[in-house]
Amino acid sequence: MAQADPTSIAPTNLDPSVPPRLAELLVQLMHKSGEPDFGYDEDSIAQISVWINHARGAPDEPETRQMAQLAAAFVGDCLCRLQGGRWTSKDGESAVHLPNGILCHPFVKAQKHLANGDSDSLLRFYRSTCVLGTLTAEELQRFASGELDLSQRLADAGLQITVSQSH
């Protein structure tokens, strides 16, 4: 399977006002294509993740790259709307900054999803980021030092992820 070119999806130095507009464009496109229930929720993220899995066969097609950009913006905007995040730019990459200080990169994750499939899916990214976004500053420190096991919280979010102390 062809690998996606990492530079083809991650826009650099995007103004933080651009990703929400890209997300809204995706919502409008999905509505026009007969998906009236598509909106800012986890079910729609799951739908986009399935689409990216299907698109993995042609990762270098312009349409695939464009849809991956829209999907990344959409997932990031869901994190903003549903988890209280805000779009920012960090080191030339568009990112979502969550209220507890977590910084996540949906455009990078979209690249990885195209390259690696479900193991790096946007749905898993969204769910795990939601778990991390609920941690307090103290819990983040304990997690970073390996003292806090998030296995149960991740399992409750529908994820079977093993986190080692070397994270």
Q: Is 154 within 8 Å of 167 (Cβ atoms)?
A: no
The answer to whether residues 72 and 114 belong to one domain is yes
The one-letter code for the residue type at 28 is Q
Average pLDDT over residues 65-92: 92
The answer to whether residues 159 and 94 belong to one domain is no
Give the pLDDT confidence of 129-142 residue by residue, as tens digits: 999 998 888 988 88
The one-letter code for the residue type at 62 is P
The answer to whether residues 111 and 55 belong to one domain is yes
The answer to whether residues 79 and 124 belong to one domain is yes
State the pTM of this model. 0.84
The answer to whether residues 42 and 23 belong to one domain is yes
CA-nearest of 116, 134, 131, 141 to 161 is 131
Percent of the chain predicted with pLDDT > 90 = 51
Q: Identify whether 1 is part of a domain.
A: no
Tokens of 91: 């080191």
> Can you give the CATH number for the domain in which 62 is found?
1.20.120
Tell me, letter by letter, the H, E, C secondary structure of 33-102. CCCCCCCCCHHHHHHHHHHHHHHCCCCCCHHHHHHHHHHHHHHHHHHHHHHCCEEEEECCEEEEECCCCC
The answer to whether residues 141 and 113 belong to one domain is no
Name the more confident of 91 and 43.
Answer: 43
pLDDT surpassing 80 at residue 10: no
Give the pLDDT confidence of 94-133 residue by residue, as tens digits: 999 999 999 999 999 998 999 898 889 999 999 999 999 9
The answer to whether residues 85 and 160 belong to one domain is no
DSSP 92-161: TEEEEE-TTS-EE-HHHHHHHHHHHGGGG-HHHHHHHHHHHHT--HHHHHHHHTT----HHHHHHTT---
Cα dihedral sign, 19-139-130-165: positive
pLDDT surpassing 90 at residue 150: no
145: region left, alpha or beta (phi > 0 left; psi from -120 to 50 alpha) = alpha
Residue range(s) defining the domain that contains residue 94: 6-134
Q: What is the pLDDT of residue 156?
A: 81
Q: What is the pLDDT of residue 7?
A: 43
Find where tokens 């995706």 sit: 26
pLDDT band per the 50, 70, 90 thresholds, residue 167:
very low
Across the chain, mean pLDDT equals: 85
In Å, how far from its chain's centre is CA 99?
Answer: 16
